[in-house]
Amino acid sequence: MKTADQLLVKQINKMIVLNTIYKKRPVSRAEIAKITGLNKSTVSALVDELLVEELVLETGIGESQGGRKPVNLSINQEVGHIIGIDLGVNYILSVMTNFAGEIIWEKRIDCQAAYSSSPAQRIAELELLIREAMQQAPPTVRGIIGIGIGVPGIVNYEQGLILSAPNLGWENIGLRSIIEQQFGVPVFIDNEANAGAIGEKWFGAGKRADDLLYVSAGTGVGAGIIINNELYRGAKGLAGEIGHMTVSLDGFPCSCGNTGCWEEYSSEKALFRYLKKYRDIRTLTIFDVVKEALAGDAVAREAFQYVGKYLGIGVANLINAFNPQLVIIGNSLPLVGDFLMDELKQEAAKRCFAARYFSIPILSSQLNMHACAMGAAALVISRLYASPVS
Ligand SMILES: [Zn+2]
């Protein structure tokens, strides 16, 4: 009989082996032992279990390093599928990925502005989209493994509870239990910027960074903070609400109840407020303004530069606070490219104390508008890698 500690050690070792196969695939048992420092017989026993569970596959014969040719291992991408959702303020994006995080289906729907639809209506739209994704899933051993959802608000991650999503007008919504009851698979809910950070770390611009900040600049502004390869949630899970740090003493009122919040100057809200002085914005979407700027429209470019400057101010503050290896700017605003990013980088360089001593790359997101949905899928995948015994 094994003690609880021995079982825990075994589980951790198994996670390490699975993770190594995921990152280094194709890889042999001997190589895994070398990379992880685990002894060869431990690796072999754990790989045997993973093979029985169909989480990994033998994928052929590798090069001999002297002696017998090794058998290569890879993860079984088709063991099941994961649904990742980006629940936006005026859209819902759903992706379905395989176990390796490759998108095999996706759909984006536009929704009515949050103030003109109730939470129940929005949840009904979400359920419809999840049902459609499930219908598209090819048959696999495990079917749908789980659903991850990124939401624009403050989340109690452990309880799957949305505490407050001011831009959606939601308070205290137990979204995890609603979706789990409906679909009978594990559901993980996280803040959209946290999901974006995890998405970039697993699949995008942050793969090689141990410490990174992901700044989501869209309808609102938030940050996902990764420290030493782990998402930093803070004492109660509310870390990263930097859109609501005060940057102006007597500034614009914010949906959170405060005034002068950073996101009032550095989000789509600020962009449209700027444009409103020059044109009718009622039917304009952020994608229209991106197109206008790229086509040479001077006012649209100025609007992005204005917002970029303010983004740079906040990014400089964040770099001073966290000293990250890398800052990634995601969500809708960086879609316009250099008009925003150049201004942002210049302002950050000017104001950042830490950047005087070493350069800190500020990149735009590699996953673009998929970062949150892919990160939501990674919430499910990472949980599976953390406890592959089910
Ligand atoms: Zn605020």
Q: What CATH number does the domain containing 41 carry?
A: 1.10.10.10
pLDDT at site 37: 93
- 181 CA distance to ligand 1 middle (Å): 33
Same-domain pairing of 161 and 53:
no
Residue 245 CA to ligand 1 centre (angstroms): 7
Residues 307-327, mean pLDDT to the nearest whole number: 96
The rounded Å distance from CA 388 to ligand 1 centre is 40
Q: Give the per-residue pLDDT at 14.
A: 85
Per-residue pLDDT band for 11 (boundaries 50, 70, 90) equals confident
If asked whether residues 86 and 177 sit together in one domain, one would say yes
| Closest to 129 in 3D by CA, of 98, 95, 173, 160 | 95
User: Is the per-residue pLDDT at 145 higher than 50?
Assistant: yes
In this structure, are 213 and 90 located in the same domain?
no
Together in a domain, 279 and 340:
yes
Domain membership flag for residue 202: no
CB within 5 A of ion ligand 1: which residues?
244, 254, 256, 258, 261
Q: How far is the CA of 184 from the centre of ligand 1 (A)?
A: 36
128 is a domain residue: yes
What digits encode the pLDDT tens for the residues 205-236? Answer: 998 899 999 999 999 999 999 999 889 998 88
99 with 212, same domain: the answer is no
pLDDT in tens, 267-278: 999 999 999 999
Judgement on whether residues 68 and 216 belong to the same structural domain of the protein:
no
- Give φ, ψ of 248 to 5 degrees: -140, 130
CA dihedral 37, 38, 41, 46 (to 10 degrees): -130
Distance between CA atoms of 94 and 109, rounded to whole angstroms?
Answer: 9
363-388 residue pLDDT tens: 999 998 899 999 999 989 877 776 54
Range of the structural domain that residue 272 is part of = 207-366
CATH of the domain at 304: 3.30.420.40
Compute, in angstroms, the gap from residue 168 CA to the centroid of ligand 1.
Answer: 14
The CA-atom distances, in angstroms, between 65 and each of 30, 36, 205, 362 are 10, 18, 33, 41
Percent of the chain with pLDDT strictly greater than 90: 66
Calpha distance 309→301 (Å, rounded) = 12
Reply yes or no on whether the pLDDT at 108 is more than 70.
Answer: yes
Neighbours of 96 (CB within 10 A): 25
**Regarding beta strands 230-231 and 362-364, do their DSSP bridges make them parallel or antiparallel, or are they unpaired?**
unpaired
Q: In this structure, are 92 and 133 located in the same domain?
A: yes
- With bands split at pLDDT 50, 70 and 90, how would you rate the model's confidence at 114? low
pLDDT band at 389; cut points 50, 70, 90: very low
Same domain, 315 and 335: yes
Tell me what the mean pLDDT of segment 175-182 comes to: 97
Mean pLDDT of the 116-123 span: 84
The pLDDT mean for the chain works out to 90
Mean pLDDT of 12-28: 87
Q: Ligand 1 centroid vs 222 CA: distance in angstroms?
A: 11
| Mean pLDDT score, 95-110 | 92
pLDDT digits (tens, 9 = 90+) for 327-368: 999 999 999 999 999 999 999 999 998 877 888 999 999 998
Distance of CA 148 to the CA centre of its chain: 10
Ligand 1 centre from 254 Cα, in Å? 5
Q: Is the pLDDT score of 116 beyond 70?
A: no
> In the chain, how many domains are there?
3
- Cα 307 to ligand 1 centre (Å): 16
Instruction: Identify whether residues 226 and 86 lie together within a single domain.
Output: no
- Are 54 and 188 in a shared domain? no
Name the pLDDT band for 2 (thresholds 50, 70, 90): low
